[in-house]
Structure 1
Amino acid sequence: MPTVSVRIGDDEKAELDEVAALLEQDRSTTMRQALREGIETLRTRHAVERYQSDDVSVNQAARLAGVSIAEWLEIAHDRGLTTQLDETELSFDAERAREL
């Protein structure tokens, strides 16, 4: 497993240690979990922004978020997003979803 180093401030280290204790796990495990969840959040936020600005289709947004189309549609529904797509694009995305 590769090693990655990052410098954090005293406040962030204290918070990390507090969360690690709360979750009853070591600091490294907590950092890996936070990184994994943070990356997921960043990918989803980026996909939402691109989708809302009409830059990407449902299929493309799902890819950006790193989720299936069904999972993307659930995310979009939970966030109250409406489609920016015309009928042709929706048909294409529906066909792609059937292929999965």
Structure 2
Amino acid sequence: MTVLKFPYDASRRLHSRKPRRSRNGTPAERAAKAAAEVGTPATVVTMPKAAAPRLTYTTRELMQKLETLTGPNRLYLEGYIQGLVDGQKCK
């Protein structure tokens, strides 16, 4: 029995004539996929607006809030306020 080796040039030529294959599919497949994704619109739900929290306090209200704080929380807040006051003096 004689074993013949297939010529490399012929196999390379046959391989190079194959159409290119895309990892993401053909252009037609990509277009169909995009059309399917766009075809389903999103559902929009309107959320009721919540009452905005009041962020401004009068001096009396602020002092009452500060009186309720104790220990390290009060020291932290006093230091924070002092830092804000000192920062305004520098500007």
TM-score (ref. length: structure 2): 0.27
| Greater relative contact order (CA < 8 Å, ≥ 6 in sequence) | 1
Query: Normalised by the size of structure 1, how large is the TM-score?
Result: 0.24
> Which structure has the highest helix share of the two?
1
